[in-house]
């Protein structure tokens, strides 16, 4: 059962948007895998920044600039501690997970040669497929795919068979955004390192549910987005081992990332600034730190236990609906349910649910190869968070029943 110290009523008061109505109905927000909602503590931090100390950082001797710099770097420290990162300069601020992946892909263009092999999993988001396809086109490297089974789990025996001395990079999401599957990234990382390959883990979907430990994982790169975990959009981080970040060339050129510039030659700044060209999203970085404070205040173990109870409850209720099929039945998964009703297009279900105030995602979820694997156009995806309730799940189930009756 849920820990009684996890006060859902009190938590929901922190999210003003949950009080609004959509189409005259109370909002039920089940699109958390796309973007989580933002608590007022984070909103207040954003307002406070712009009202009291909005200034550019690292460049000014005046008070506002120093205050903004201190708050921004304090947030970097919070992120370092949250993910158990060895050194603060191994935290690179980005605009989000996609930015972090592209930064690494661009850098590895200097190292990858024709005939080298790159592995990605069959359940990747497009942002962890397309950059590697582009890298292969530039370099002549070969992209290979770790297959999955019907339950939505990677076939690890075939992964081990794909690994060879030609494998230079392995990329995998920690959690599938389309299915909720938690991948065995510890085993994936260890096996890749066994053949000398580097590993990047897309942690965007894991970070709201799992407190990943970079030292325990021994991963080379790990990326997350703040807007998946109660923070603002437009900010995220790339973790990289110092040895790799030193090897990679800068991704962008401009202010802040330089040590000295002449028209003859430019030298680059030390980490992390080498990868942080231009004026950063100062407010976003600060707010990300506040979002981590908020979630850690509840505790990730308590969050995980509550979300598991919601997942079990929703799964049981939905499966009682005749002709409803859930895609992604892995033993280890987060609170994501992708489903269809036989004979009904997912878009039509999602449209009716919206009319009833229920926000779900429909389509291929930027994971089209997964949908091709199941030979379906897409799914209805209900992704749950710690501020959702069983009563909201009941409302969704009744809405799905109503949609089915209208459409069949």
Q: Which residues are catalytic?
A: 366
Partner residues linked to 211 by β-bridges: none
Residue 278: how many other CB atoms lie within 10 Å: 11
* Angstrom distance (rounded) from CA 74 to CA 258: 22
Under 8 Å between Cβ of 181 and 307? no
CA distances (Å), origin 163, targets 134, 191, 215, 340: 21, 8, 23, 35
Q: Are 169 and 135 in contact (CB under 8 A)?
A: no
In this structure, the chain runs to a length of 408
Strands 258-261 and 266-268: antiparallel
Residues 6+ apart with CB under 8 A from 233: 35, 96, 226, 227, 284
**Cβ(256)–Cβ(269) below 8 Å:** yes
How many other CB atoms are there within 10 angstroms of residue 316's CB atom? 11
Round to whole Å and give the CA distance between 110 and 244. Answer: 12
Instruction: Output the CA–CA distances (angstroms, integers) from residue 108 to 85, 241, 267, 329, 350, in the order listed.
Output: 22, 14, 20, 35, 40
| 8 alpha carbon, distance to own chain's centre | 24
Contacts of 34 (CB under 8 A, 6+ apart): 361, 383
| Token code pair at residue 235 | 């900010």
- Confirm if 397 and 317 have CB atoms less than 8 A apart: yes
The pair of three-digit structure tokens given for residue 341, joined into one six-digit string = 């009703």
Contact (CB, 8 A) for 104 and 240? yes
Output DSSP code: residue 333: B
The terminus-to-terminus CA distance of the chain in angstroms comes to: 37
């Amino acid at each position: 059962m849920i820990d009684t110290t996890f006060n859902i009523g009190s938590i929901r008061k922190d999210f003003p948007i949950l009080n609004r109505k959509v189409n005259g109905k109370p909002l039920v927000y089940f699109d958390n895998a796309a973007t989580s909602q933002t608590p007022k503590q984070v909103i207040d931090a954003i307002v406070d920044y712009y009202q009291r100390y909005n200034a550019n950082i690292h460049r000014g001797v005046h008070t506002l600039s120093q205050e903004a710099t201190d708050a921004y770097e304090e947030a970097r420290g919070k992120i370092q501690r949250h993910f158990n990162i060895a050194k603060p300069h191994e935290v690179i601020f980005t605009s989000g997970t996609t930015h972090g992946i592209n930064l690494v892909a661009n850098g590895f263009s200097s190292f990858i040669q024709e005939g080298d092999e790159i592995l990605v999993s069959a359940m990747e988001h497009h942002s962890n497929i397309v950059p590697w396809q582009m890298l292969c086109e530039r370099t002549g490297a070969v992209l290979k795919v770790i297959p999955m089974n019907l339950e939505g789990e990677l076939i690890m025996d075939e992964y081990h068979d794909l690994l060879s001395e030609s494998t230079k990079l392995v990329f995998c999401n920690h959690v599938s955004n389309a299915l909720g599957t938690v991948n065995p990234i510890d085993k994936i990382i260890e096996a890749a390192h066994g053949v000398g390959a580097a590993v990047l883990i897309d942690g965007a979907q894991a970070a709201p549910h799992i407190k990943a430990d970079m030292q325990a994982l021994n991963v080379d790169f790990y990326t997350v987005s703040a807007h998946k975990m109660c923070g603002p959009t437009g900010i995220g981080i790339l973790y990289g081992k110092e040895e790799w970040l030193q090897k990679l060339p800068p991704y962008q050129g401009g202010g802040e990332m330089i040590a000295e510039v002449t028209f003859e030659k430019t030298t680059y700044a030390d980490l992390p600034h080498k990868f942080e060209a231009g004026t950063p999203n100062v407010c976003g970085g600060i707010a990300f730190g506040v979002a981590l404070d908020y979630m850690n205040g509840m505790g990730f173990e308590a969050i995980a236990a509550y979300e598991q109870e919601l997942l079990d409850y929703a799964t049981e209720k939905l499966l009682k609906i005749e002709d409803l099929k859930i895609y992604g039945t892995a033993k280890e998964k987060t609170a994501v349910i992708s489903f269809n009703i036989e004979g009904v297009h997912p878009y039509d279900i999602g449209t009716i649910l919206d009319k009833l105030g229920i926000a779900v995602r429909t389509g291929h979820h930027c994971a089209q190869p997964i949908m091709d694997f199941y030979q379906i156009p897409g799914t209805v995806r209900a992704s749950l968070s710690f501020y959702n309730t069983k009563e909201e799940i009941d409302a969704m189930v009744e809405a799905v029943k109503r949609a089915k009756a209208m459409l069949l």
